[in-house]
Amino acid sequence: MKCYKFYFSIFVFSFLIKINQTFLVKYLDHFRPNNASLGQFPYMASLRNGDIHFCSGVIFSPRWIITSGSCSYNLRVINAVLVGDKKGVISNDLLYVNVSIISKNACSNLQNVYFIHDNMICTKTVEDQRFCIFESGSPLILNNELVGISYLADACKFEGNPSIFEMVHPYKKWILQELQSTNARDEENKFMKTSKKISFEFNV
């Protein structure tokens, strides 16, 4: 089986989105990701409730962040930016792990993997680099292209579990339609020309 190396960005404190519920975060002792350098992943966003990070996302335009559907219930956007200048339960550093794709059959045979459909990608990290429950919405990136969004980020609960991503490419048309419906196309095009581009062209 041919394997691909990915850069999976965990989170960065950049955009604030408020919700009406409180989410608790636990940083596990065995979680050992890599520290990203400044500006390495400028498209990463943090979805937060006050000082609590509960999901990650990808900055697609100045007004749009792509994330997991499980992260988007009852959200209210506020005009604020957090630069990580206060102490909290989560690291201020942007973190990432390297992963390889594994087959859907192999993924389905692993413990605690219940349902895998055609638009899902299973990946596996190296030892001591599993990502945990608070990384839902994080992107799977290959060659600066958005491949998938994490929606089932509980791999840290069980030894040897895969990390599962929903492929973004099948939803490209819908995402662009949503941009057009809010008259955001010109804004999005301007943003993409002046920033590190994220595209949907890669298809596994």
- The CATH class for the domain spanning 6-194 reads mainly beta
State how far the Cα of 166 lies from the Cα of 44, in Å rounded to an integer: 17
Q: How far is CA 1 from CA 75, 104, 106, 144, in A?
A: 41, 12, 11, 23
In this structure, how many other beta carbons lie within 10 angstroms of the beta carbon of residue 153? 24
Q: In terms of pLDDT, which residue wins out, 21 or 31?
A: 31
Q: Give 16's pLDDT tier (boundaries 50, 70, 90).
A: very low
Average predicted confidence (pLDDT) for the chain: 63
pLDDT at 109: 76
Instruction: Work out the average pLDDT over 160-174.
Output: 81
Q: Give 113's pLDDT tier (boundaries 50, 70, 90).
A: low
Pairing of strands 139-142, 64-66: unpaired
Cβ pair 123, 6 in contact under 8 A = yes
Domain ranges of the chain: 6-194
Q: DSSP code of 20?
A: S
pLDDT at 54: 78
| Alpha-carbon dihedral sign for residues 105, 144, 56, 119 | negative
pLDDT at 10: 31
Instruction: Work out the average pLDDT over 180-190.
Output: 57
165 Rama sector, left if φ>0, alpha if ψ -120 to 50, beta otherwise: beta
